[in-house]
Structure 1
């Protein structure tokens, strides 16, 4: 239960990790264009001062353009908070204590007691149609949660992706604690892949959502389309004041599949993005900027496109959730099966990213600040692409420095 430690993966899964690591190492030896090394493992990275700034490698070779000083940091797995979760995706800490977690495939929201690991199902979200990468995805608490007790959710229906809000009433019996959903925004395109799904309220009280391009690449560059965007709206689902394209919820465009949103201590927005075959990205988001997809994947010399602050080969990351803590962005990697740290200095990376927990818990879906130097981390071995073992999936409590 919650007393399990970093060694809680079963022997079979450990063996699989070893085999996968050996195969990956062999592939690196055979593939001339790829290089191992770099701080903490993964692809090498370097500091590049060009447009957008940040940590990046050469698009032609994967080698660093300049050497970045290695970052200093550590990650300690304090404990396993909960285990046995099925396809967990979104996580929202409750101010009164407890963690809400969404199940992509089951369409349910569950409360986890972070002290005992006990789980209580709030209820099932009606209308969720899980398939491929779609289903019940991100969740967030209302900025006025203390008074309205509203939980927001982003999910895939039979026809679209949409955002709803529901009243959470803990006094009702388990399974009946979610009120009827109030749809605040609909019509976000859906697909078998690239549904985006992360939602978060910003320091401005507005709701931000990562919307994927569903595999239809042209949506990303079409400013009138909702796919391939970061959206910004009021808590009622209206275009937020100050949005860059007039009466539109579109905040930034040229995205492939954004699944990570977080703000730093200076209230700047950061987003992680899945690449296709070459580069995954960490971007600092500016309203109205074009982030390049599908014209550009990763860094470009074209000033029309906002360059990523950091980029990784897709085998090393495939990033989903991100969080800000201890002066760094922390990024959960799915295919990369590791937690990345990107120390910040202004809008740039101060040093080369470091990776932690490499292969230790499998695929990592969501990371959320738990206050101070603590993080909550959600694994994703039961999403159909992992190798689930005893105890999967789980929520971990981390201490970072």
Structure 2
């Protein structure tokens, strides 16, 4: 995952090594920041998400979601740029632990919302029943304070669970009206773009995608806004820029643009960069009308090309 700590540079986390590097927005110089201790990178586990604090200018905190030998967890570390390269991260302070881990579907996207609360996506680890179990943090979007406590306004005041019924959400983005959107891996039929509302049940494993016979989704389940065949998407990162959502696709090897009109698409999704750079893992708004893209071809599932993996900058309008 990638985040922007200020000044335009990027912080980039490496899943298999647990390493975090800083990439200069101008010139692309790479400086090692440090490594997250305790990362167990097996199958789809590892360092899965990073996010800088919404108060980074004053607290210098970097948050990480990662797999350990026993669970998935979230920790924060002080980032001290005055220290030497490779030694700029302080000791991790675990703020939330006990998220089930599995060979697959560990989730891992981290993001601070407009409300300055920390959001984290979790997978159901292949145990489908966990997605519908409100007592489990797996198969959910979690919302917590920067200290890892249940955030005020959550559906249940003593729980970090914000919504449930997810297979494996890998993208989070807020639009111009501060609405939360999420991109989600389906199984064999449909990948999804969902508008996230607190307390809603997004259906997995009971419902995948939209009902194709024209009938509504059964009562109690939220219907996705858009769906794709996995061959065209397998979505990962999600960003909002220029009035559109931008969704990075792994298996689909393309960047989808979804122009919005409120809570609905303003037009049919458009595909960009199809097959040009291979698997696209992460997309991040640069804040100046551009997007940062990170490829994911060296994860054992792609076909590495010369120069992979790489960070791309895309001007959008």
2:95 pairs, out of 181, 184, 188, with 184
Deviations along 1:161-202, one digit per CA (max 9) or x if unpaired, are 000000111111111111000000001111110000000000
In the alignment, structure 2 segments of 5+ residues that lack a partner are none
CA shift, 1:143, in A, is 1.1
2:15 pairs, out of 104, 113, 129, with 104
1:153 pairs, out of 47, 56, 64, with 64
Mapped partners of 1:266, 1:207: distance in 2: 18
Q: What residue is the counterpart of 1:207 in the other structure?
A: 118
Alignment of 1:68-147 (within 5 A): 90-147=1-58
Q: What residue is the counterpart of 2:316 in the other structure?
A: 400
In the alignment, structure 1 segments of 5+ residues that lack a partner are 1-89
**Aligned pair count?**
312
Note the aligned Cα RMSD (angstroms). Answer: 0.8
Alignment of 1:328-339 (within 5 A): 328-339=244-255
Mapped partners of 2:193, 2:86: distance in 1: 38
CA shift, 1:245, in A, is 2.0
Please give the TM-score of this superposition, normalised by the length of structure 2: 0.97
Instruction: Please say if 1:327 is aligned against 2:243.
Output: yes
1:162 pairs, out of 69, 73, 96, with 73
Please give the TM-score of this superposition, normalised by the length of structure 1: 0.77
Q: What residue is the counterpart of 1:309 in the other structure?
A: 225
Alignment of 1:2-401 (within 5 A): 90-300=1-211, 301=216, 302-401=218-317
Mapped partners of 2:5, 2:28: distance in 1: 15
Mapped partners of 2:100, 2:15: distance in 1: 17
Query: What secondary structure sits across from 1:377 in the alignment?
Result: strand
Whose Rg is larger? 1
Deviations along 1:220-271, one digit per CA (max 9) or x if unpaired, are 0111111000000000000000100231000010000001000000000000
CA contact (8 A) 1:325 1:372 kept: no
CA contact (8 A) 1:326 1:372 kept: no
Structure 1 stretches of 4+ with a deviation exceeding 6 A read none
